Structure 1
């Protein structure tokens, strides 16, 4: 073994103390290695077996000095096992060996060793060989610290972003809820003026949503129709009570005024950036159009009538037929369906009407749920 030197002591005072794990089955060798490491200003961690070393090897260890020739488990096997250990697999390993053949050194490299040092150990050689590896370990640790700090920063910012997004979503939900409540109250005002109840709005909007779902529309559109269809008659606010509440048949002149509730509704809801109101505008304008073109206000026919209007037409007529109005008593479901069946292909889109009939059990469930 080499003796200590003033140069070695001077060198170590410039370096931060490192923790070096030495594994050797001979105690005399460990004492010598421990003395050399302390002379270089490092903290030696000494053990005679890999079994014990497993408990000592953690992220605080900066380098491993590993004897090759050990009876229990040779150094090659120990090196391979260290390379498989989570968290410490990249720790630098220097093999301490009396073996000098090229084959032995290649075997050590394959096992995971970074460098070799021959017995007897020379202090200067030990300092030099350890120096470059310890600097490499410092760089690795610095990268790990940076990555950990970066991950922590990303986690904190991600958490803050998620919280901000949740706050935005909650604000949007609150705003949407307020919009919907305002819209439904406005729609209810129109319905109450017509001596109807909020139950009509609930039934009719759910009939519309059921039809939209059965027709295969996306969930987002189904929800839009559910929320927008209550606005279909919002334009009745602009119709005089003398016409709206008249218990007898309207005159042709009065009927022309009544038909304008579709236009009034579209004007009330029109020119909005809010998608829900835009859908409401379409429904308000189109729900009295008829498949054969005899409806109002535009006399549209077939698929020129917006789909939302065609859906609403079926739902609205069924609920109107089965509800009491100032000018009529409520019809039975059977009579109402017979009237609607007669309008297949003239008043109603055949496909939508057939869909309504096909799921009439669910229609009746909705009807009973919101029975006046």
Structure 2
């Protein structure tokens, strides 16, 4: 990356912190022709200044009354944003242990008093250039990351829609059950990041239905035994599609797609897994999926009330569902109902989500 030009330098600001007015005057004389310079006569004042004005670099005296430079630097580095500001110690200290301590608390360089104008300008320019390059790189990485996240979210929406493309009555089912899954995962102790990943993977649980014939998928009646066996293959089909990716999101989505019809007592499909042999992700999604399916109107049934659906979940704890997860589901009942209402209102207004951050704030 290019070094700073003279015109570039004028865009940058430097905070000089020193309790001696004479030292401040010297540094002002050196820096002011090139940089926007502000001053602070003590460590306490410096910490107040940076809350209102964020400099691009700090020249910091060490030996100051009240709060020395080491402590000032240490406090700066505890703040996520302020920690990014390069700090150069300006000091008469020349002992090796003092330099080591300075680097330990986060300084990037030392300038020894009495200061040399040429060395001061060179050090300041170098570290401003490095910091500028770092910020530019971070901004580029952030932009690329956002592009990748957008692409990933689009893929989620497309795969979720593909699984329900021929199922015109599901409405917002995949989004609602995803939000319920996130509520339940958070209640079970999942981190917010893990629960969010689950909510992104959950909408793809029925991706495999894309491989089920229309005459079975759209049948407005209870399926025959033979048809049901064909329908069951959607778990394996979804797994085969989603497991082609090795990213954490799609690994989790594949795990859910394969196992969300397994049952706690071992009577589910496709593998007849029992108890905790079923991945927790799939056990969570199973509860969320069934709860929402029960409360939906379908060609072959009317929508159940939320209370009826909760009763069903409770009745089948220990057989279909993990009993501990059922307890957690009831523990967040009010949150589930609030989330349900949120999505029902979106559906009434015919608002279709295009992205995956669809858990309302009250459910965080």
The structure-2 alpha-carbon separation of the partners of 1:154 and 1:294, relative to structure 1 and needing over 3 Å to count, comes to: same
Q: Does the 8 A contact of 1:188 with 1:198 survive in 2?
A: no
User: What is the aligned counterpart of 1:59 among 26, 29, 46?
Assistant: 26
Are 1:246 and 2:213 matched, yes or no? no
What secondary structure sits across from 1:59 in the alignment? Answer: helix
Aligned partners of 2:24 and 2:205: how far apart in 1? 75
Aligned to 2:123: 150
Are 1:235 and 2:208 matched, yes or no? yes
Q: Does the 8 A contact of 1:322 with 1:333 survive in 2?
A: yes
Aligned to 2:331: 358
The structure-2 alpha-carbon separation of the partners of 1:141 and 1:311, relative to structure 1 and needing over 3 Å to count, comes to: same
Larger RCO (CA within 8 A; separation ≥ 6): 2
- Once the two structures are TM-superposed, the CA of residue 296 in structure 1 deviates from its matched residue by 0.6
Aligned partners of 1:57 and 1:314: how far apart in 2? 67
Aligned to 1:190: 163
- Once the two structures are TM-superposed, the CA of residue 246 in structure 1 deviates from its matched residue by 0.7
Which stretch has the larger CA shift, 245-254 or 144-153?
A: 144-153
Q: Does the 8 A contact of 1:190 with 1:237 survive in 2?
A: yes
Aligned partners of 2:137 and 2:130: how far apart in 1? 10
- Once the two structures are TM-superposed, the CA of residue 150 in structure 1 deviates from its matched residue by 2.5
CA offsets, 1:349-372, max 9 Å, x none? Answer: 111111111111111111111114
Q: Does the 8 A contact of 1:236 with 1:261 survive in 2?
A: yes
- Once the two structures are TM-superposed, the CA of residue 153 in structure 1 deviates from its matched residue by 1.4
The structure-2 alpha-carbon separation of the partners of 1:58 and 1:273, relative to structure 1 and needing over 3 Å to count, comes to: same
Q: Does the 8 A contact of 1:232 with 1:265 survive in 2?
A: yes
Structure 1 unaligned blocks of 5 or more: 1-53, 61-82, 91-137
Are 1:286 and 2:259 matched, yes or no? yes
CA RMSD of aligned residues (A): 2.8
The structure-2 alpha-carbon separation of the partners of 1:356 and 1:88, relative to structure 1 and needing over 3 Å to count, comes to: closer
The structure-2 alpha-carbon separation of the partners of 1:244 and 1:84, relative to structure 1 and needing over 3 Å to count, comes to: closer
User: What is the aligned counterpart of 1:298 among 244, 251, 271?
Assistant: 271
The structure-2 alpha-carbon separation of the partners of 1:238 and 1:140, relative to structure 1 and needing over 3 Å to count, comes to: same
- Once the two structures are TM-superposed, the CA of residue 193 in structure 1 deviates from its matched residue by 1.5
Structure 2 unaligned blocks of 5 or more: 1-20, 28-62, 70-88, 93-111, 348-364
User: What is the aligned counterpart of 1:275 among 243, 248, 264?
Assistant: 248
What secondary structure sits across from 2:26 in the alignment? Answer: coil
Aligned partners of 2:90 and 2:158: how far apart in 1? 67
Aligned partners of 1:160 and 1:368: how far apart in 2? 48
Q: Does the 8 A contact of 2:181 with 2:199 survive in 1?
A: yes
- Once the two structures are TM-superposed, the CA of residue 155 in structure 1 deviates from its matched residue by 2.3
The structure with more radius of gyration? 1
TM-score scaled to structure 2, two decimals? 0.63
Q: Does the 8 A contact of 2:91 with 2:113 survive in 1?
A: no
Are 1:221 and 2:221 matched, yes or no? no
Aligned partners of 1:283 and 1:241: how far apart in 2? 23
- Once the two structures are TM-superposed, the CA of residue 186 in structure 1 deviates from its matched residue by 2.4
Aligned to 1:41: none
